[in-house]
């Protein structure tokens, strides 16, 4: 059977698929907003033929949009050549991608890469790295550095180690006890960090911009202060660039200018193909995890690493970083001028904006009905993380529709309030 024939048999209306979803998929995501069947560039189509401008990009993942011809052909050709080999073996794409990431990150001699398949896995590896920064060990084998610091509002993933680093109570509490030793300090408060970090701390985890918390950038100077504080105490500075990395903010990495001990990447790295990475900077950090102390079956496989190489190549060769800075600045300025928008935050094409009232979830539905995919991270906060290839004209089409979307959302809120 031809591939097209096999896929074409999966026909049905959105309501059919949602009914089948409800009786076959675990309920952790609630009811999906739409059933999507096809994409091209920044546009996707649902099972009923309706078209949407994708301003979320699969949550900061689809850097090159949907069905990018070069990415598609690189993935297909790698899969047709060699798809998976296990980490008993390596492959040229794996080595080339590691080298490329080290080069882009300005990593010094001795820096290394570990490949995973997702953001949470990259952070699990970073968590284990942190645990190996033991400090002095007593004759009884007790380690000195038992504490790990993360920030209020932090999101680092859903597996148990990454969840221990994540701040949100609703995500954590049902799964306690979580791996111990993690403490959360107030967001953006240098003095609180300074007070918390001493020689009992193994690592400090930070996101340059907290994406899940509503696109909250660290205050200017915080990251450098965190670098100085951790360096003085012998703690690792671990930067979670899972959402902010790979061009999302108009730079390769949002932490550029500050050299961490480790960095985690995922989301945009594979252009939509699942891939995550932990980069360790310099010999000392890189030697903390030794042979046999960590592993993965899928991580760094030829297809995932080829997809990442292709993504990086397109970003670099088409001047996308500059385009992201331009389109992002234009979009943020335009959003700030829309009545009902109270505050706009972010960098490049990672944008959060607050509404004057608690109608963000209703705005997400109204936007979908108007043909735009956006996301709410809180009762009055909306997030945009579109493909990096978004054009000004596409950005403008959303800004022009936004007053109508907000009006619909407001009246939906009023109706709900009355019923």
Ligand X SMILES: *Cc1c(COP(=O)(O)O)cnc(C)c1O
Contacts to ligand X by CB under 6 A: 118-120, 123, 155-157, 207, 211-212, 240, 242-243, 266-267
241 is in an annotated binding site: yes
H/E stretch holding 376? strand 375-378
- 66 vs 156, beta carbon nearer ligand X: 156
Kindly state the smallest distance separating residue 26's Cβ from ligand X, in Å: 16
Rank residues 155 and 353 by Cβ distance to ligand X and give the closer one: 155
What are the φ/ψ torsions at residue 173 (nearest 5 degrees)?
-55, -45
Q: Could you tell me the smallest distance in angstroms from the CB atom of residue 162 to ligand X? A: 6
Considering beta carbons, is residue 98 or 242 the nearer one to ligand X? 242
Query: Is 270 annotated to bind ligand?
Result: no
In whole angstroms, give the CA distance from residue 331 to residue 349: 8
Gap between the terminal Cα atoms of the chain: 53
What angle (nearest 5°) sits at the alpha carbon of residue 118, between those of residues 178 and 312?
145
Identify which of 163, 128, 135, 361 has the alpha carbon closest to the alpha carbon of residue 238: 128
Residue nearest to ligand X (CB): 119
Closest approach, Cβ 83 to ligand X, in A, equals 21
Task: In whole angstroms, give the CA distance from residue 233 to residue 112.
Answer: 23
* Integer-rounded Cα radius of gyration of the chain: 22
- Residue 378 among known ligand-binding residues: no
Nearest residue (CB) to ligand X, 196 versus 269: 269
Residue 203 makes CB contacts below 8 A (sequence gap 6+) with 126, 129, 130, 133, 148, 149, 230, 235, 236, 237, 238, 261
According to DSSP, the β-strands at 381-384 and 216-217 are: unpaired
The response to whether 172 counts as a known ligand-binding position is: no
Q: Is 19 annotated as a binding residue?
A: no
| Residue 117: CB minimum distance to ligand X, A | 8
Point out the residues that are catalytic: 155, 240, 267
- Binding-site annotation, residues for N(2)-acetyl-L-ornithine: 158, 296
- Binding-site annotation, residues: 119-120, 155, 158, 240-243, 296-297
- Binding-site annotation, residues for pyridoxal 5'-phosphate: 119-120, 155, 240-243, 297
């Amino acid at each position: 059977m031809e591939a097209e024939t096999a896929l074409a048999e999966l026909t049905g209306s959105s309501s059919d698929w949602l009914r089948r979803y409800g009786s076959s998929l675990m309920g952790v995501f609630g009811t999906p907003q739409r059933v999507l069947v096809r994409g091209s560039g920044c546009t996707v189509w649902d099972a009923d033929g309706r078209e949407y401008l994708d301003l979320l990009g699969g949550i900061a993942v689809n850097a090159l949009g949907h069905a990018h011809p070069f990415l598609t052909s690189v993935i297909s050709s790698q899969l047709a050549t060699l798809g998976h080999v296990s980490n008993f073996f390596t492959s040229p794409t794996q080595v080339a991608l590691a080298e490329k990431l080290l080069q882009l990150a300005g990593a010094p001699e001795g820096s290394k890469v570990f490949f995973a398949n997702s953001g949470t896995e990259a952070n699990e590896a970073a968590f284990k790295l942190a645990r190996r920064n033991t400090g002095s060990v007593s004759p009884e084998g007790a380690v000195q550095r038992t504490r790990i610091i993360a920030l209020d509002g932090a999101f680092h993933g859903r597996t148990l180690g990454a969840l221990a680093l994540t701040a949100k109570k609703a995500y954590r509490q049902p799964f306690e006890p979580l791996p111990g030793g993690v403490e959360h300090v107030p967001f953006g408060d240098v003095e609180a960090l300074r007070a918390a970090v001493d020689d009992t701390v193994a690592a400090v985890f930070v996101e340059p911009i907290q994406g899940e918390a509503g696109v909250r950038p660290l205050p200017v100077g915080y990251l450098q202060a965190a670098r100085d504080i951790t360096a003085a105490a012998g703690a690792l500075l671990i930067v979670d660039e899972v959402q902010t990395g790979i061009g999302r903010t108009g730079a390769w990495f949002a932490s550029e200018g500050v050299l961490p001990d480790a960095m985690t990447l995922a989301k945009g790295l594979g252009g939509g193909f699942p891939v995550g990475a932990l980069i360790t900077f310099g010999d000392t950090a890189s030697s903390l995890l030794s042979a046999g102390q960590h592993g993965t079956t899928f991580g760094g496989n030829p297809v995932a690493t080829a997809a990442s190489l292709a993504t990086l190549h397109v970003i670099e060769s088409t001047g996308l970083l500059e385009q992201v800075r331009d389109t992002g600045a234009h979009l943020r300025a335009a959003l700030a001028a829309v009545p009902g928008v109270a505050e706009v935050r972010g960098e490049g094409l990672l944008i959060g904006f607050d509404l004057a009232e608690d109608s963000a979830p209703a705005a997400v539905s109204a936007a979908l009905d108007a043909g735009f995919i956006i996301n709410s991270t809180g009762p009055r906060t909306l997030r945009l993380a579109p493909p990096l290839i978004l054009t000004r004209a596409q950005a403008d089409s959303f800004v022009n529709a936004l007053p109508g979307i907000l009006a619909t959302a407001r009246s939906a809120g009023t109706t709900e309030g009355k019923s």
